[in-house]
Amino acid sequence: MTGGREDGPEFDHPTEKCGVVGVSLSDREAALPTYYALYALQHRGQESAGIVSHDGFQQHQHVGMGLVGDAFDEADVDALHGSAAIGHVRYPTAGSVDKSCAQPFSVSFKGGALGLSHNGNLVNADDVREELAASGHAFTSDGDTEVIAHDLARNLLEADLVRAVKETMSRIHGSYSLTIMHDDTVLGVRDPLGNRPLVLGELDDGYILASESAAIDTVGGELVRDVKPGELVVLHEDGTGYDSYQLVEEPNTAHCFFEYVYFARPDSVIDEELVYEVRRELGRHLWREAGVESDVVMPVPDSGRAFASGYAEQAQSEGEGVEFAEGLMKNRYVGRTFIMPTQEARERAVRLKLNPIKSTVEDRAVTIIDDSIVRGTTSGQLVDLVREAGASEVHVRIGAPPINAPCYMGIDMATRDELIASDKTAEEIAEEIGADSLSYLSLDAVTDAIGKSEADLCAGCVTGEYPYDVAGEASDRDAERPAIDAAGDD
């Protein structure tokens, strides 16, 4: 497909961009480690948090709005009995903010109890939902997670677990890392292109699946490996091991490059790369490609830190007498500014969040380093702040290429016309944000730092070409959504 549009039909329903966890232990309650793992994944979602556990007889569930610490109190965690659990933190979106969209999604059906946590976004959810609705399935939300749950429940009535998951995978198209609980069996599934991360870890008395390895570290586990694209991992109910089924195999992957740039924690290892080191390497590339002479290099905290340290290190190694210093102080009690629904609220939030350190910037030429520019709100505000604090020059360097197309794969990136780079050059953006100069990083540098070819990454938000068949958008490969016929067969 070719062409482009403001926002495809895939934006009509709430998208699911999140952190997921699944835990199976020998006989300890799984809720507490799941809760801690969700804490470690808090950066992946602040809108709601939830856990579903199973004690061998029945499912228990608690979901609440807000941060993990607000969504649960001690009694809530204590009431989640059983040595199997899955958990979820949900990313904020401007639209739906009520409990009906919170996850894990759970459903009881003839074949048992099912819980499902989803990170990613299906691009054919409407096709599958329509077909399921036509055969009598009633939906309580318009999210794609419920679609997966219903499809899987239907398949579980006719097939064993592995075949049922395989059948569902043949019908859904898009990005998904899932943790699923069928009765007290916990499973993890990663979509055939491995767009979102999912890792497997070992605990003293069991196994854990999580979006990022930092969650495994937090509960004292060891990272075993990434769940492979197209793989199903089934944790044994007694916590003694796991089984692996490679259900779908594709010649290439489509790992999201933005996980490395912004979304994942720097202390996480994704697809065998430590995110912090990737970011430092991106910073080194940034100096090599677009270094600019200045007195001081300073990060936008927290996301720009690793980039700025790599950038300054590379500059210094090439004999540039530049200082690396903190010039912006962050108020850690203000949440991510991006979630504010209006432009005015977003602008105020940047001021609430960051304040300049005068001694770093006064009468000096300053280079500010951040990971990305989306709408341009943050950088515009920061350039003003730093100038008001007395900087003589303000340069901006960005550790990613220009984001100029929407993300349909589970990251809230704004619509095309909100993206400042969608219709402006770097020089025009520099002018708009008031910077003396602005440079981005090339996509080549990104692929080099991540150590993967462009054919194995998803950079749709940069290239406008997606690894999946997104309605109205171009694809960078032979991507085709499955035909969903009325009988539900593939």
Residues that bind ligand AMP (CB under 6 A): 262, 300, 303, 336, 338, 370-378, 411-413
- Smallest gap from Cβ 374 to ligand AMP, in A, equals 3
Largest CA distance in the chain: 72
Which of 273/370 has CB closer to ligand AMP? Answer: 370
Query: Any catalytic annotation for residue 18?
Result: yes
- Smallest gap from Cβ 19 to ligand AMP, in A, equals 14
Which of 53/378 has CB closer to ligand AMP? Answer: 378
Q: Annotation-wise, does 101 bind a ligand?
A: no
Which of 35/263 has CB closer to ligand AMP? Answer: 263
Which of 91/242 has CB closer to ligand AMP? Answer: 91
Which of 4/376 has CB closer to ligand AMP? Answer: 376
> DSSP state, 259?
I
- Smallest gap from Cβ 4 to ligand AMP, in A, equals 20
Q: What are phi and psi of 355, to 5 degrees?
A: -135, 135
Q: Annotation-wise, does 407 bind a ligand?
A: yes
The radius of gyration of the chain from alpha carbons, rounded to an integer in Å, stands at: 23
Which of 156/457 has CB closer to ligand AMP? Answer: 457
Q: How far apart (Å, rounded) are the C-alpha atoms in residues 367 and 131?
A: 54
Which of 340/470 has CB closer to ligand AMP? Answer: 340
Q: Annotation-wise, does 303 bind a ligand?
A: yes
- 280 SS3 class: helix
- Smallest gap from Cβ 48 to ligand AMP, in A, equals 16
Length of the chain measured in residues: 490
- Smallest gap from Cβ 427 to ligand AMP, in A, equals 17
Q: Which of 13, 14, 15, 18 is catalytic?
A: 18
Q: What are phi and psi of 64, to 5 degrees?
A: -145, 160
Q: Annotation-wise, does 461 bind a ligand?
A: yes
Could you list the active site residues? Answer: 18
Q: From the annotation, which residues make up the binding site for [4Fe-4S] cluster?
A: 256, 407, 458, 461
Annotated binding-site ranges for Mg(2+): 303, 370-371
Q: Binding site membership: which residues?
A: 256, 303, 370-371, 407, 458, 461
